Amino acid sequence: MRLSQGAPGARVLAFGGYQPAEVVTNHDLAARIDTNDEWIQSRVGIKERRVAGPQESEIDLAVQAGGKALAASGLSADDIDLVIVATCTLEAQIPNAAGRVAHRLGIEAPGAFDVNAACAGFCYGLSAASDAIRAGSATNVLVVGSEKLSQWVDWDDRATAVIFADGAGAAVVGPSEVPRVGPVAWGSAGDKAEAITIKDRRSFLQQEGQTVFRWATTALHPVALLACERAGVDPAELGAFVPHQANLRIVEAIARKLGADQAVIARDIVLSGNTSAASIPLALSRMIERGEVASGDLALLLGFGAGLTYASQVIEIP
Ligand code: UT7
Span from the CA of 163 to the centroid of ligand 1 (angstroms): 10
285 C-alpha to ligand 1 centroid (Å)? 29
**Nearest CA-CA partner of 281 in 310, 318, 249, 247:** 318
Ligand 1 site, CB within 6 A: 35, 39, 43-44, 119, 158-159, 162-163, 196, 207, 209-210, 212-213, 216, 246-247, 250, 274, 305
> What was the pLDDT predicted at 4?
87
With contact defined as beta carbons under 8 Å apart, do 75 and 13 qualify? yes
Q: Which sign does the torsion angle of CA 32, 38, 44, 48 carry? A: positive
Q: What is the pLDDT along the chain (318 residues), one digit of tens a residue?
A: 988 889 999 999 999 999 999 999 999 999 999 999 999 999 999 999 999 999 999 999 999 999 999 999 999 999 999 999 999 999 999 999 999 999 999 999 999 999 999 999 999 999 999 999 999 999 999 999 999 999 999 999 999 999 999 999 999 999 999 999 999 999 999 999 999 999 999 999 999 999 999 999 999 999 999 999 999 999 999 999 999 999 999 999 999 999 999 999 999 999 999 999 999 999 999 999 999 999 999 999 999 999 999 999 999 999
Active site residues: 119, 244, 274
3-state secondary structure (DSSP) of residue 176: strand
Burial zone of 229 (CB within 10 Å; 0-12 exposed, 13-18 middle, 19+ buried): middle
pLDDT, residue 2, reads 87
Mutation test residue for ligand 1: of 43, 155, 304, the one with most atoms within 8 Å of CB: 43
Q: First-to-last CA distance in the chain?
A: 36
The rounded Å distance from CA 57 to ligand 1 centre is: 29
pLDDT at 3: 87
The edge-to-edge listing of strands for the beta sheet with 166-176 is 9-18, 166-176, 141-148, 82-86, 111-115
Q: How far is the CA of 162 from the centre of ligand 1 (A)?
A: 10
Nearest residue CA, atom 9 of ligand 1?
Answer: 209
Closest C-alpha to ligand 1, atom 2: 305
Distance 273 CA to ligand 1 centre (A): 15
CA angle 7/8/9 to nearest 5° reads: 90
Read off the pTM: 0.97
- Cα 13 from Cα 145, distance rounded (Å): 16
pLDDT of the residue at 198: 97
pLDDT of residue 296: 98
Nearest CA to ligand 1 atom 46: 35
